[in-house]
């Protein structure tokens, strides 16, 4: 990708995040070096470190970018839906589309969660999952209140299952080396999820 050498600081940081995500789609994220990032951006490492004091700061920016973009996308999708169940489906498919467009992101997230000990980036991943879960919990409770979802549904378990289905689809597409597989399998997977939480028609 081509990037002008003189960009405002915020734009330079955004371009750096894009470079890391692209590299993560091609190789093990833990093996991405600052030299490789700088090379992808056609910069020197010195120029890169003018915006980031170290590699950990770059990873924090990546996590912040992911959280902001993903949550904004699912919020927009849910906001346009006519009911809680439709909102859940819209959030599910929007999340799938986000991953399909940025295949390096799940590799980075899984990599951070596997790291020993606490790091700022790892804490950000946990915070993202928590904030995402809160949004799902709100929709599930609204669905139960409206009668769309079965009253006996355990909301915490339903949130875990929702996220787990997406993670499973992501892992399978990564193993298959086929990013588009996740788009093909997502609609059918959501049908099964919906059946597990929806109120049975009398």
What are the domain boundaries of the chain? 55-197
Sequence-separated (6 or more) residues with CB below 8 Å from residue 175:
none
Q: At what angle do helices 9-24 and 104-114 cross, to 10 degrees?
A: 80
| Number of residues written out for the chain | 202
Q: For residue range 148-168, what is the model confidence (pLDDT) as tens digits?
A: 999 999 999 999 999 999 999
Q: Which helix (H) or strand (E) holds 114?
A: helix 104-114
State the pTM of this model.
Answer: 0.88
Separation CA 59–CA 21 (nearest Å): 10
Buried b (16+ CB within 10 A) or exposed e, 157-192: ebbeebbebbeebbeebbeeeebebbbebbeebbee
User: Domain 55-197 belongs to what architecture?
Assistant: Orthogonal Bundle (1.10)
Is the distance from CB of 77 to CB of 91 less than 8 angstroms?
yes
Q: Please tell me the predicted confidence (pLDDT) of residue 189.
A: 98
Is the distance from CB of 137 to CB of 145 less than 8 angstroms?
no
Q: Please tell me the predicted confidence (pLDDT) of residue 43.
A: 87
Write down the mean pLDDT value for the chain. 90
Is the distance from CB of 160 to CB of 132 less than 8 angstroms?
no
Task: Report the range of poorest mean pLDDT among 87-91, 108-112, 124-128.
Answer: 108-112
Q: Please tell me the predicted confidence (pLDDT) of residue 21.
A: 93
């Amino acid at each position: 990708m081509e990037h002008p050498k003189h960009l405002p600081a915020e734009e330079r940081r955004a371009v750096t995040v894009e470079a890391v995500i692209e590299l993560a789609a091609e190789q093990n994220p833990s093996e991405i070096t600052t030299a490789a990032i700088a090379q992808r951006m056609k910069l020197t490492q010195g120029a890169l470190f003018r915006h980031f004091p170290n590699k950990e700061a770059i990873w924090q920016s990546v996590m912040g970018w992911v959280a902001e973009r993903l949550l904004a996308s699912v919020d927009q999708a849910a906001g346009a839906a006519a009911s809680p169940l439709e909102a859940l489906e819209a959030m599910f498919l929007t999340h799938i589309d986000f991953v399909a467009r940025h295949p390096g992101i799940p590799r980075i997230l899984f990599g951070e969660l596997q790291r020993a000990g606490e790091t700022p980036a790892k804490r950000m991943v946990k915070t993202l999952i928590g904030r995402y879960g809160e949004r799902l919990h709100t929709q599930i409770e609204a669905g139960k209140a409206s009668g769309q979802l079965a009253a006996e549904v355990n909301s915490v378990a339903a949130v875990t299952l929702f996220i787990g289905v997406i993670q499973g689809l992501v892992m399978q597409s990564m193993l298959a080396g086929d990013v588009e597989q996740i788009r093909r399998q997502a609609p059918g997977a959501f049908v099964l999820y919906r059946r597990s939480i929806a109120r049975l028609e009398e």
